[in-house]
Amino acid sequence: MSSFRINIILFGILLISIISCKTVKNEDTTESPKRPNIVFMMADDHAYQAISAYSDKLIKTPNIDRIASEGMLFTNASVTNSICAPSRATILTGKHTHINGKIDNLHPFDTTNVTFPQILQKAGYQTAMFGKLHFGNNPKGFDEFKILPGQGRYYNPKFHTNKGDTTITGYVTDIITDLTIDWLDNRRQKNKPFLLMYLHKAPHRSWLPAERHYKEFTKKEFPLPETLFDDYKNRGVAAKTAEMNILDHMLISYDNKITKETVDELDIKERRFIDRTKRMTPKQKASWDAVYGPIDREFAKNYPTMNDSTLMVWKYQRYMQDYLGTIAAVDENVGRVLDYLKENDLDENTIVVYTSDQGFYLGEHGWFDKRFMYDESFKTPLLIKWPNKITPGTTEDEMVQNLDFAQTFLEIAGVEAPEDMQGKSLVPLLKGEKEKWDREAVYYHYYEYPGEHAVKRHYGIATKDYKLIHFYYDRDYWELYDRKKDKQELNNVYNDPEYQDVVKELKTKLIELRKKYKDSRELDNYYIQLYENKRRKG
Ligand code: SGN
Ligand code: CA
């Protein structure tokens, strides 16, 4: 054989091996079996009372409900600290707020914390975040993000991105969804699994619905909650002194959308005036005024004959019309994302979670806002679908928390969770393996006091049967609720002789939980100091 022919043969062999090598490499990046995609949908302040999978007394949310009918509805999901940024920090780190340091909305998030998106990104997931984060800094571990600065605005919102700031004309809930679908459509890498965090601003205060919804919702009337006129008897002082009563603390201008001119004309004293409609384009403003103008004039006419009770009912109705109006847009847009996943053959291998950063009061105890360890704000909606893993239409009453998401997502992705994460993967519950779930109690700790809405510092333990709460700082006292007998939590039975064994047992368990989660008296004091210093500096 001539050396020329040998060279040709050798070259051929080399070429074939290069090509086959490349094929193997391609196969390596195309996963088999594919790791699931994760779509984490979260709204801000979305009360479970306003999701029809839980109750259809107030609103129908057919799209969010699809997640439950195709998957699992959690009836006992709670947060560890019922306020925005702390809840988000717990979700991302899998740690209680006294450990990740984000105890309140005031301090920026400590970005030296390890978050689950960072771990997923390292493990080969493509990661993206759209909407509200509220951390005071940028999220780590995301290939792309477009987030609202701070609380964000309903109309013509500004977004902060890895490439600078941009303002987009339109309605925030629609825009966050447009950005999300644009990413799915144009920048998703098809050879990688993805983590998508889709985070709505709505239905956060001050509740500005989209035009298509305020036209409809301002005509509606809603059933009154049984405890709208709560007198805060039989409880400690914190319920009484909290500043979140609809009659006393909700603003007729800012919240109920009565103009400053009318409020002044009626000689109503309001703490402050902020007109969120100022951001609107002339066209948006004209449509708004066409609907809210007549409401303003009607109120001006009726106000002189209103008493506390009729004013409370009027404010409650105005509150519900706008709050629920913003949820109508969330529901429609959740439907858009679910449809996109289905139409693009993504839904079979995608786990979809819908939740809120905490619960919210919709007039229960006469309140709006959150913060307390009482059910409406302590509990949060949680719906999860995961085709072929979760039996469709399942209801789960185990006590799960926002603390559990990080470890759940890491397990789903087949990645080991760091040992110092404090939650528990929900995967056994999702797969129906209830026998592997052994949690009997959860821990809660709220800090932001003195502060907006004046909810006192407290920590506590909840079991399925009881809730024991310790209020501390400027007052020191305990509350115990019998969750089975007193679902509305109207009677503190801490001093009731019949409950002394329960008190004793729960106090022991609470001490154990504080130890387990590394919370302590020293840390309580440390955070009091930190908070006071921060407030002093402003
Ligand atoms: C704002 C609201 C409060 C709300 C906090 C925290 N006031 O400060 O009513 O409790 O956000 O909400 S507002 O006048 O600015 O609307 S959170 O969801 O971000 O924690
Ligand atoms: Ca919130």
Residue 264, C-beta contacts closer than 8 angstroms, at least 6 positions apart: none
For the chain, what is the total number of helices (H) and then of strands (E)? 17, 16
pLDDT, greater one: 21 or 383: 383
Q: Is the CB of 83 under 6 A from ligand 1?
A: yes
Q: Is the CB of 206 under 6 A from ligand 1?
A: yes
Q: Quick one: which of 357, 318, 450 has its CA closest to 97? A: 357
For the cut 70, the answer to whether the pLDDT of residue 380 exceeds it is yes
Q: Quick one: which of 82, 327, 78, 362 has its CA closest to 226? A: 362
Whole-number Å distance, alpha carbon 84 to ligand 2 midpoint, is 4
Q: Is the CB of 371 under 6 A from ligand 1?
A: no
Whole-number Å distance, alpha carbon 358 to ligand 2 midpoint, is 6
Helices assigned H by DSSP within 383-453: 405-412, 427-430
> If residue 486 lies in a helix (H) or strand (E), which one and from where to where?
none
pLDDT tens digits, 250-285:
999 999 999 999 999 999 999 999 999 999 999 999
For residue 459, the SS3 value is strand
CB atoms within 10 A of CB 512: 13
Q: Is the CB of 204 under 6 A from ligand 1?
A: yes
CA dist., res. 226 & res. 376, Å (int): 14
CB 428 within 8 A of CB 512: no
CA dist., res. 63 & res. 336, Å (int): 9
Mean pLDDT for 208-228 is 98
DSSP 379: B
At residue 28 the predicted structure's pLDDT band, cuts being 50, 70 and 90, is very low
CA dist., res. 317 & res. 306, Å (int): 14
Whole-number Å distance, alpha carbon 233 to ligand 1 midpoint, is 27
Q: Is the CB of 45 under 6 A from ligand 1?
A: yes
CATH number of 37-207+319-439: 3.40.720.10
In the block, residue with structure tokens 């409880």? 235
At residue 370 the predicted structure's pLDDT band, cuts being 50, 70 and 90, is very high
Q: Please, what's the b/e burial string for 176-191 (b: 16 or more CB within 10 A of its CB; e: otherwise)?
A: bbebbbebbeeeeeee
Mean pLDDT for 416-423 is 98
Residue 505, C-beta contacts closer than 8 angstroms, at least 6 positions apart: none
CB atoms within 10 A of CB 193: 21
Mean pLDDT for 291-296 is 98
CA-closest residue to ligand 1 atom 19: 84
Whole-number Å distance, alpha carbon 330 to ligand 2 midpoint, is 15
CA dist., res. 235 & res. 247, Å (int): 20
CA-closest residue to ligand 1 atom 13: 205
Q: Is the CB of 251 under 6 A from ligand 1?
A: no
- Residue 7: the pLDDT is 57
High-pLDDT (> 90) share of the chain, %: 92
Which one of the ligands is nearest to 251 CA? 1
Q: Quick one: which of 532, 404, 377, 361 has its CA closest to 469? A: 377
CA-closest residue to ligand 1 atom 12: 84
CA dist., res. 37 & res. 372, Å (int): 34
**Long-range Cβ contact pairs of 180-183 (< 8 A, separation 24 or more):** 180/128, 180/130, 180/337, 181/336, 181/337, 181/340, 183/128, 183/130, 183/144
Q: Which of 45, 80, 81, 105 to mutate to test the pocket of ligand 1 (most atoms within 8 A of CB)?
A: 105
Mean pLDDT for 498-516 is 98
Whole-number Å distance, alpha carbon 43 to ligand 2 midpoint, is 8
Which one of the ligands is nearest to 47 CA? 2
Which one of the ligands is nearest to 102 CA? 1
CA-closest residue to ligand 1 atom 15: 205
Q: Is the CB of 243 under 6 A from ligand 1?
A: no
Looking at the DSSP assignment, which residues form a beta bridge with residue 131?
147, 199
Structure tokens at 459: 């920590």
- Residue 5: the pLDDT is 55
pLDDT tens digits, 308-356:
999 999 999 999 999 999 999 999 999 999 999 999 999 999 999 999 9
Structure tokens at 271: 């703490």
CA dist., res. 135 & res. 151, Å (int): 10
Mean pLDDT estimate for the chain: 94
User: Reading across the β-sheet that carries 144-148, which strands appear in turn?
Assistant: 164-167, 158-161, 144-148, 126-132, 194-199, 37-43, 350-356, 382-385, 72-74, 394-396
High-pLDDT (> 70) share of the chain, %: 94
Q: Quick one: which of 144, 140, 175 has its CA closest to 157? A: 175
Which one of the ligands is nearest to 355 CA? 2
- Residue 210: the pLDDT is 98
Cis peptide before 36 (omega within 30 of 0): no
